[in-house]
Amino acid sequence: MSVTADTLTSLELPRWIYTPGETPEPDDDTLSRAKALVPARFDAFVPFDHPALRYGFALNDAGFFWEAHEILEAVWQAAPKGGRDRILLRACIQIANAGLKNRLGRARAVDRLLSDARTELGELTARAPKPSFPTSAAERFPITRVAGQLAEADGPGLSIKFGLMA
């Protein structure tokens, strides 16, 4: 399947939010289409404008935390090992998972996941950017803004948004 700008706009939000133990199953139709966009391996970096990546960000921002985790994990698995994009994706996966745990009322899990995400973003900012990959996810993601949200995150109203329009 070729990836075009129109591909992302054809990905609709799932019909319902999946919450383990509360809803019978996830709405897999759209998620399967998004996962099909992910290559077996990204060459040197994950492009910031890749439709599956942007869809994962949009899912998180819309409160589809389980679904965001699923899509971002698929992108993470295809990302080059040892690269900045994998670090960023681990942080984003932890943030989505924290949103889900918050919905489930698991405060200790939320605290641990947000701490892990802060650590990942700290590691990412400590590593030198790759000037040869200016369009990579790690180079274009608003790390400082999201890290600021993580620093202020607390309580049941937790909402960490990536703030990236799909």
Q: What is the pLDDT of residue 97?
A: 96
Beta strands, E only, the chain: none
Q: 21 exposed, middle or buried (CB, 10 Å; 0-12, 13-18, 19+)?
A: exposed
pTM for this entry: 0.90
Encode the chain (166 residues) as per-residue pLDDT tens digits.
344 445 545 789 999 999 999 988 999 988 999 999 999 999 999 999 999 999 999 999 999 999 999 999 999 999 999 899 999 999 999 999 999 999 999 999 999 999 999 999 999 999 878 777 889 999 999 999 999 888 887 666 678 899 875 4
| pLDDT score recorded for residue 2 | 40
Do residues 107 and 161 make contact, with C-beta atoms less than 8 angstroms apart?
Answer: no
| Residue 54, beta-bridge partner list | none
Neighbour-count burial for 129-148, b at 16+ CB within 10 Å, e otherwise: eeeebeebbbbebebeebbe
pLDDT of the residue at 58? 96
